Amino acid sequence: MPELTVSAVLCDMDGTLVDSNALVDVMWNEFAGAHGLDGVEVRAFAHGRPSRATVARYLTDDAEIREWLDRIHTMETSRFDGVVEIPGAAAFVEALPDGRWALVTSALAGPARGRLSAVGIDLPEILIGADDVEHGKPDPEGFARAADLLGVEPGECVVFEDTDAGIRAGQAAGCAVVVVGDNRSSVTEGLLRADDMTQVGVRIDGDRIVLTLPEPD
C-alpha cells in the first residue's frame, strides 16, 4: 500500500471530516429559492468555497449581501441536525500528534468548531476559517497560513480535501494532496485518494507522520 511521510497534516472539514451536505444543501436551496436561481448551480458553485464568495457571485447590493451573510451565519451556527462524522475521522485525528495537524475550512471558524464538536471530533490547536483569510479556496492562503502556524514548510504537509477548489488550493500552496470521497474530475487525476478516513492509517516515526493509503484505482 502507498505510504506518504510528512511533518504535518492539513484537513478540510466538510466532506473530509464532517458530512454536513444536508445542512449545506438546505442553506443554499433557501438562498437560491429566494432569488429565483437554479439551486443545483448554486450548490455546485458553493461547494468548497467561502459563503461570501458564493453570495457575492449572485448578488450585487452590499446591504443584501450583508443580510444574507448574516442569515447564513445564523444557519451555520444553529443547525446541526443531519451533521455527522465522516467514517474514521475522529480516530484519524486522534492518532495525529498534538500540534501537528490543522483544519482549513471554507466555513466560518465559529460554526466549524461547532460542527466538529457536534460529531465528537477534538478541535485542533490551529483552525483556519473563511473569516481568518482574505482569499478563500481555491486560493492557497489558508493552507499556507496553517503550515506557517504549525512551523513547517507547505512541502512537508499533506492536505486532505474533497473539492476541486480545495485541491487546487492545496496544490497551489505546495502541499501533497489526498482526495477524500468520490469526487472524480480532471483536478483529481493522478492523486492518491481514500473513500473515507477509515482507509488512512497513521504511524509515527520519530518526528515524522507516516500515512498509509489505499492502492490507486
Catalytic positions are: 12, 14
**Beta carbons of 12 and 101 less than 8 angstroms apart:** no
Give Cα separations from 55 to 51, 66, 75, 131 (angstroms). 6, 9, 14, 15
Instruction: Establish how many alpha carbons lie within 13 A of residue 12's alpha carbon, considering only the half-sphere containing its beta carbon.
Output: 34
**Beta carbons of 116 and 94 less than 8 angstroms apart:** no
- Beta carbons within 8 Å of 30's beta carbon, 6+ residues apart: 75
**60 phi and psi angles, rounded to 5 deg:** -120, -20
**Beta carbons of 36 and 88 less than 8 angstroms apart:** no
Give Cα separations from 88 to 85, 138, 178 (angstroms). 8, 26, 15
